[in-house]
Amino acid sequence: MTKIIGLTGGIGSGKTTVAKYFASKGIPVYIADEAAKNIMDDKDVVQEVQSKFSEKVILENGLLDRNAIRELVFKDKNRLEQLNKIIHPKVKTDFENWLHKNKKAPFIIKEVAILFETNGQKYCDATILVTAPIETRIKRVLERDRTSRENILQIIKNQLPEEKKVELATYVIENEKLNITYKKVDNLIEILKNI
């Protein structure tokens, strides 16, 4: 039976970089955020999300204004919970369908930003936490997104503290220098083949 390996890390940790490296090694990788974005483009989902917000969150092209939603939900945990109640069950179904298509793989990687926050580790055979120093994470996000340091710190504050994630993780990869990170992943692949 295919083993499910949860991959997570705080914003700017480099979890997606690590996920892409696993994929480059021929390992099936499911990226939950990408699945959620695709699901959020569904017309019925657009209407369902808009019904939960008093502010207009639909763009002129009929798609959701993700930036506006991001600003609203990261300032209000209740709204984040409402959004998650709409999106998470649909992502779960999408993942189950994807897993069925990859059932011959010895293991797959399921990359989830909020794996531990949603208690998702209980559905995994093992978990990997990608970490990096806080200033490195902030610098990466500032270079990648059009946002402010304050917004990044707010997102970090809304995520589970790093030390708690370390306690929950099966494996931890410190991701500061990519060549070292890739060597750690190569070693981990050999371990994961035998769990």
Binding residues for ATP: 12-17
Residue 114, amino acid: I
Residues making up the annotated binding site are 12-17
CA 81 → CA 45, 72, 115, 189, distances in Å? 15, 12, 15, 34
Strand partners, 31: 111
Going by C-alpha positions, the residue among 110, 114, 112, 111 that lies closest to residue 159 is: 114
